Amino acid sequence: MDVASLLDRRLLLVTGKGGVGKSSVAAAVAVASARSGRRTCLVEVEGRHTFSQLFGTQAWDFSEWEFRPGLFGLSIDPEASLREYLDMFYGARHLSRVVVRSTAVEFATAAAPGIKDVLLIGKVKEMERRRDDDGHFHYDLIVVDAPPTGRIVNFLRAPDATTELVNLGPIRTQAQTLIDMLMDAERTNVVLVTLLEEMPVTETLEGAHALRDMGVALGPVVVNRVMPERFDDDERKAITADLDPAGLQAMLADAGVRVSPAGADDLLTLAAGHLGREELQRTSRELLERRLGLPLLELPELYTDDFAEREVGLLADAVTDAVTPDEVS
Amino acid sequence: MSEVLAAARKRDLSSAIAEAHVIVCTGSGGVGKTTTAAALALGAAHAGRRTIVLTIDPARRLAQSLGLRALDHIPRPVKGVEGLDAMMLDMKHTFDEVIDRHAEDARRARRIKSNRFYQQLSGSLAGTQEYMAMEKLYDLHMGGAYDCIVIDTPPTRNALDFLDAPKRLTDFLEGRFLKMFLNPGLKAGRTIGRAVSFGTGVFMRAASKITGAGVLEDLGDFFHSFEGMYEGFKDRAQAVYKLLSSPGSAFVVVATPEPPALREARYFLRRLEQDGMPTAGLVVNRVTLPPPPSLKGLSARKAGAAIAALADGGPEQRAAGELLSLHLDRVDVARRERQAVTKGLHGIDPQVLVDVPRLAGDVHDLEGLEAVGAYLYRTT
């Protein structure tokens, strides 16, 4: 598994702790994939209208649409998914279709969320297996903004739990084909998104462990919002050991900037805080590398006013760079 | 609208920790709800109130610092803090307690708890985690051992789920599906109408095809065994809602200065207002503070020239130049975050707005919580 093959799977499930930018990363990976010429579908499963806001488009719904060239979007609503499923199996043959549908929908969404997840993954599998008339797969890559790490294991385990609970019938048959898709490392990878901070790293390590236990293949770990290192070793040493407020004040005065002793002191305090964060980044990165044995794909902190399509594009640039082998010139 | 926010920034949460009987911390995932809850609880305990912080899913090191070693569902005294207990919510355990309380006898309770659907659903029934958090909260309230109960809401995909949980559960229990399920054998023309009964039969057949035989019987048995408990559930859910909307409660909305978290915070503040819930204020965590007064006069133009001049010097000069550009970046980030908060809260008055600066590392000890607390209730 290397970073360069990230986009060569059929299905990427992007997950991460709340607040790490999982949806933005999913969007960036999908954009990078579409730019590489792959017909790509970006899927939202929790109906939060994240992507329509991010890309500034009309609201997404339960029909795939090409919102950018080669890039399709879909918001899976489990209830719509269930209706489609019931139609598929029972069609319009029953007079009481309306009754069947509404009660069954109520049943599945309120009483047995595991079944809801199965239907949701089922929709993804249908897209993953769909072929055009020429026999080629309809989509080259499907990128799912999956539930967060706290829920991802239960989400992916839903087909399995269903086979335990439901002993026969189409749901059981379908559940098995979903398990086959999810467990196939060539088809499906889970992409964990993290920050180089303590809690997200801990949750990533725990999530990776649980996912590996259930036999799901992990893709590269995406490290979001990486601060560029500002100080080289010599400068770091100068700040931590050599510079005192008076010295700094004098040096700045030579360069034409007057600061008070308190100002010089505050600058050094600021630097100490910043160096602390850089140090935390380094130790977090080491910890991830040592404990996971997975390649890391780092995306930069953007320092922009907003976060919209342009910023997704900037992250997509970084993804493209990472998956493109270095040209030998 | 920024005057409203400026006024809100002048206030803090000290009256909430001094007076509120229940403090609910809410917000989207990853914004620091647990830390905020723990810091508020610490403040209440310092104010001499018997306090408990009930947390759902704390980071391990924070849990350790509160003396919580396992998900053991028992209030534990926090070492080193007089009058402060902490406990972690155990969903399954709380649901079992609910069953024990509402079931008419021990035999029925046992029967429910051994049903395979109960075992699945107790962990996944829509809104269960939220509902159980509310249950435990009410339990602690009725127990009377605490002056102040601080609770950290579950990391729901949508913070609003939390308020809806009691209603969703009762809606479900009253729902059409369940009624059909509980009365599948009813003949047409009896309690329910002919059309519905016909529909039920078709539904049961269709559903059996999906799930396979036997499953529906188990499920029916599960719901049947709940019969007689629904009223208790509903009464309880209403009591919890009443407690939360009473003036003795205080909702603290938590966010970070990033648009998605602010968006959730905005919806939540709106929703609290619509529902007439007592809102104590908004906490914005991980804020980049504007520069201290000592550096106010350092303009971008002057610093820029100096940075260029220092770039050619030795390590100390270069480091000094980098310090200036770090400062300029911070000014910029602080300004941008301020704008994001103003924009995100447009048209909303949170009453209290507390900025908690980004700290050097994660908070995982009492010292760190004290540091956060100093911003929340400005201890002098």
Most confident of A311-320, B178-187, B298-307: A311-320
Q: How far away is chain B from the Cα of A80, in angstroms, using its nearest Cα? A: 17
Banded pLDDT at A107 (limits 50, 70, 90)? low
Q: Which residues in chain B are closer than 8 Å to A122, comparing Cβ atoms?
A: none
**Chain B CB within 8 Å of residue A161 CB:** yes
User: Most A CBs within 10 Å: which of B64, B172, B323, B333, as the mutation test of the A interface?
Assistant: B323
Determine the average pLDDT of the residues in B271-299: 91
Q: Which residues in chain A are closer than 8 Å to B306, comparing Cβ atoms?
A: 252, 255-257
SS3 B280: strand
In a domain, A296, yes or no: yes
What's residue A199's pLDDT?
84
B302 with B354, same domain: the answer is: no
What's residue A328's pLDDT?
52
Compute the distance between CA of residue B233 and CA of residue B344 in angstroms, rounded to an integer.
37
Of B124, B199, B362, the CB nearest to A199: B362
Q: Which residue has the higher pLDDT, B115 or B128?
A: B115
CB contact under 8 A, B124 and A113: yes
Domain that holds residue B221: 2-292+334-376
B287 with B297, same domain: the answer is: no
Compute the distance between CA of residue B362 and CA of residue B364 in angstroms, rounded to an integer.
6
Average pLDDT, chain A: 87
Q: How far away is chain A from the Cα of B55, in angstroms, using its nearest Cα? A: 15
Domain count, chain B: 2
In a domain, A25, yes or no: yes
B272 with B363, same domain: the answer is: yes
Q: Report the number of secondary-structure helices (H) and strands (E) in chain B.
A: 17, 8
Determine the average pLDDT of the residues in A20-30: 96
pLDDT at A100 over 70: no
What's residue A92's pLDDT?
45
**Chain B CB within 8 Å of residue A78 CB:** no
Determine the average pLDDT of the residues in A179-202: 94
Q: Are B350 and B281 in contact (CB under 8 A)?
A: yes
B148 with B255, same domain: the answer is: yes
Residue of A nearest to B303 (CA): A257
CATH number at residue B62: 3.40.50.300
Determine the average pLDDT of the residues in A287-304: 93
Share of chain B above pLDDT 70, in %: 72
Q: Which two tokens stand for residue B90?
A: 């155990």
Determine the average pLDDT of the residues in B172-183: 58
Q: Which residues in chain A are closer than 8 Å to B332, comparing Cβ atoms?
A: 303
Average pLDDT, chain B: 80
What's residue B70's pLDDT?
65
Q: Are B113 and B99 in contact (CB under 8 A)?
A: yes
CB contact under 8 A, A198 and B361: yes
B215 with B307, same domain: the answer is: no
**Chain B CB within 8 Å of residue A252 CB:** yes
In a domain, A115, yes or no: yes
**Residues pairing with A14 in the sheet:** A145, A191
Query: Residue A131 class from Cβ within 10 Å (0-12 exposed, 13-18 middle, 19+ buried)?
Result: exposed
Compute the distance between CA of residue B293 and CA of residue B280 in angstroms, rounded to an integer.
30
User: Most B CBs within 10 Å: which of A251, A269, A280, A312, as the mutation test of the B interface?
Assistant: A251
Query: Can you spell out the DSSP letters for B143-200?
Result: H---SEEEEE----SSTTHHHHHHHHHHHHHHSHHHHHHH-TTPPTTSSS-HHHHHHH
B102 with B58, same domain: the answer is: yes
What's residue B327's pLDDT?
93
B170 with B87, same domain: the answer is: yes
B127 with B214, same domain: the answer is: yes
CB contact under 8 A, A100 and B209: no
What's residue A165's pLDDT?
64
Query: Can you spell out the DSSP letters for B289-315?
Result: PPPPGGGTT--HHHHHHHHHHHTTS-H
pLDDT at A310 over 80: yes
What's residue B4's pLDDT?
92
Half-sphere exposure of B200 (CA within 13 A, CB side): 20
pLDDT at B141 over 90: yes
**Chain B CB within 8 Å of residue A241 CB:** no
pLDDT at B150 over 50: yes
CB contact under 8 A, B291 and A247: no
Domain that holds residue A315: 3-227+289-323
* Chain A 178-197, residues with CB within 8 Å of chain B CB atoms: 197
Compute the distance between CA of residue B73 and CA of residue B87 in angstroms, rounded to an integer.
6
Q: Which residues in chain A are closer than 8 Å to B305, comparing Cβ atoms?
A: 255-256
SS3 A300: strand
What's residue B185's pLDDT?
47
Q: How far away is chain B from the Cα of A199, in angstroms, using its nearest Cα? A: 7
Domain count, chain A: 1
Banded pLDDT at B197 (limits 50, 70, 90)? very low
Compute the distance between CA of residue B233 and CA of residue B150 in angstroms, rounded to an integer.
23
B278 with B346, same domain: the answer is: yes
What's residue A157's pLDDT?
86
CATH number at residue A77: 3.40.50.300
Determine the average pLDDT of the residues in B59-87: 80
B312 with B350, same domain: the answer is: no
Q: For B14-31, what is each residue's pLDDT tens digit?
A: 999 999 999 999 888 788
Q: Which residue has the higher pLDDT, A206 or A305?
A: A206
Weakest-pLDDT range from A248-257, A284-293, B290-299:
B290-299
pLDDT at A104 over 60: no
What's residue B193's pLDDT?
41
**Chain B CB within 8 Å of residue A212 CB:** no
Residue of B nearest to A49 (CA): B260
Nearest to B24 by CA among B234, B281, B235: B281
**Chain B CB within 8 Å of residue A200 CB:** yes
Most confident of A78-87, B217-226, B351-360: B351-360
B207 with B94, same domain: the answer is: yes
Of A110, A235, A242, the CB nearest to B126: A110
Nearest to A261 by CA among B1, B63, B294: B294
In a domain, A270, yes or no: no
pLDDT at A106 over 60: no
SS3 A15: strand
Kindly provide the ipTM of the predicted complex, given to two decimals: 0.78
What's residue B45's pLDDT?
97
In a domain, A276, yes or no: no
Q: Which backbone phi and psi does A162 adopt, to 5 degrees? A: -65, -40
Most confident of A184-193, B64-73, B340-349: A184-193
B74 with B28, same domain: the answer is: yes
Compute the distance between CA of residue A19 and CA of residue B1 in angstroms, rounded to an integer.
27
